Amino acid sequence: MRLEEKSARLADVEARAGLILVGKAALAPRLALDDLGDDAPTAGFVAYYAARMKLRSEFTIFGQQKPFDQLSEALLALCGQRPEATRWFAVAHVFPREDVLARLTDHEKGRLLGQWFAILDMTAERLKRASEETRIDMHDMIVRQGNDSSTWNLLAGAWNRARDHWIALVTAMGFDELFDEMMPGKVMRLMAGDVAHWHRSTGGGVHPDTAVWRDLPKPWSVLRGDATCTRADIEAACRRRGVDPETSGWSAPRPRTDVSKFRPTPELVHGVAVNNPYLAAYLKKARWFSGKDVRFVWVD
């Protein structure tokens, strides 16, 4: 029995690791070399965009860097200049924009749709379990003592990534009537208490998306058939909370047309961006921003 329990635990850990990768890099880890072929622009865009999606979060209230930056745009434009050679199926693993999905066959779209729905199903069970095991505050979504915020936020990232791609593919295949029957909402990440305090101190409050989340059935209940949530329900909740349901990604695929300015990846010291890598290394050794007592260290 102990061996069976260990095997089950190992399988669960492996599945969780796979979901973490999905949240960070979409389906890029599932691509084989044959999917990329010998096309350098395809490989360059997929690798760079996947890396951009994996940027670590910064300690800020002003929003995180968006993955689609000027270099991403240039690499995608290079793919577009030679469309016959580009492996669009590989590009769609990470970037499901309408013009990219339009270049796929129905069979390719169906393969991706099946993978993303399976990920939604797998993530829903784990989100339900996590919500019950650590008694997360589902109202304000602020970390409390005893919450496993790391697991929750990783699962939320995987859910939202899968949901975003699933909506884009369902729409591209012309099956969006499905959303009139079922459209589970987003999952909010848990916010650190100090970040929440920073929001309040600057006159801000709970993010409008969190208010929409409160008004809707929990996504795992919708996917299991225990609750009903449709596109109309989501649009009504968004209107009540002053959120645009389409541009916010609640009820439509994200447009993915905004281009962020390119800037080098910052060095992070416990989430705080530091421009100088040598200073960042010193601050890490000295335990700045870690919540621990600062210690003075010698610089070699």
pLDDT single digits (tens) 61-101: 455 578 889 999 999 999 999 999 999 999 999 999 999 99
Say if CB 69 and CB 260 are below 8 A apart.
yes
- Looking at the domain assignment, is residue 239 inside a domain? no
Do 280 and 148 share a structural domain? no
Question: Quick one: residue 270, left, alpha or beta (phi over 0 = left, psi -120 to 50 = alpha)?
Answer: left
Query: What's the token pair of residue 20?
Result: 């973490």
Domain of 299? Answer: 266-300
* Separation CA 77–CA 93 (nearest Å): 17
Do 296 and 152 share a structural domain? no
Do 293 and 146 share a structural domain? no
Domain boundary among 123, 149, 175: 175
- Looking at the domain assignment, is residue 236 inside a domain? no
Say if CB 284 and CB 271 are below 8 A apart.
no
195 contacts: CB under 8 Å, gap ≥ 6 = 59, 61
- Looking at the domain assignment, is residue 255 inside a domain? no
Residue 142's DSSP bridge partners are 191
Please report how many Cα atoms fall inside a 13 Å half-sphere around the Cα of residue 64, on the Cβ side: 13
* Separation CA 202–CA 98 (nearest Å): 38
Do 153 and 284 share a structural domain? no
Rounded to the nearest 10 degrees, the angle between the axes of helix 2-25 and helix 106-133 is 120
The reported pLDDT for the residue numbered 47 is: 95
- Looking at the domain assignment, is residue 107 inside a domain? yes
Do 298 and 156 share a structural domain? no
Looking at the chain, list the stretches that DSSP marks H as alpha helix, in order from N- to C-terminal side. Answer: 2-25, 33-36, 40-53, 70-81, 88-92, 98-101, 106-133, 149-172, 193-201, 208-215, 219-223, 231-240, 277-286
- Looking at the domain assignment, is residue 230 inside a domain? no
The reported pLDDT for the residue numbered 136 is: 86
Do 30 and 143 share a structural domain? yes
How do residues 11-35 score in pLDDT, each as one tens digit? 778 888 888 889 999 999 999 999 9
- Looking at the domain assignment, is residue 235 inside a domain? no
Q: How many domains, in total, are found in the chain?
A: 2
- Looking at the domain assignment, is residue 167 inside a domain? yes
Domain boundary among 175, 196, 229: 175
Do 283 and 167 share a structural domain? no
The reported pLDDT for the residue numbered 67 is: 86
Residue 267's DSSP bridge partners are 274
Do 45 and 158 share a structural domain? yes
The mean pLDDT values, 10 residues at a time, for the chain of 300 residues are 76 83 93 92 95 72 72 96 97 98 97 97 93 85 84 94 98 96 96 61 73 96 95 98 95 88 58 51 55 55
Q: Cα-flanking dihedrals φ and ψ of residue 69, to 5°?
A: -110, -170
The reported pLDDT for the residue numbered 2 is: 79
Do 159 and 26 share a structural domain? yes
* Separation CA 292–CA 215 (nearest Å): 38
- Looking at the domain assignment, is residue 188 inside a domain? no
Do 135 and 22 share a structural domain? yes
The reported pLDDT for the residue numbered 270 is: 46
The reported pLDDT for the residue numbered 17 is: 85
Do 160 and 19 share a structural domain? yes
The reported pLDDT for the residue numbered 279 is: 53
Domain boundary among 175, 207, 230: 175
Which residue type occupies 45? F
Do 279 and 160 share a structural domain? no
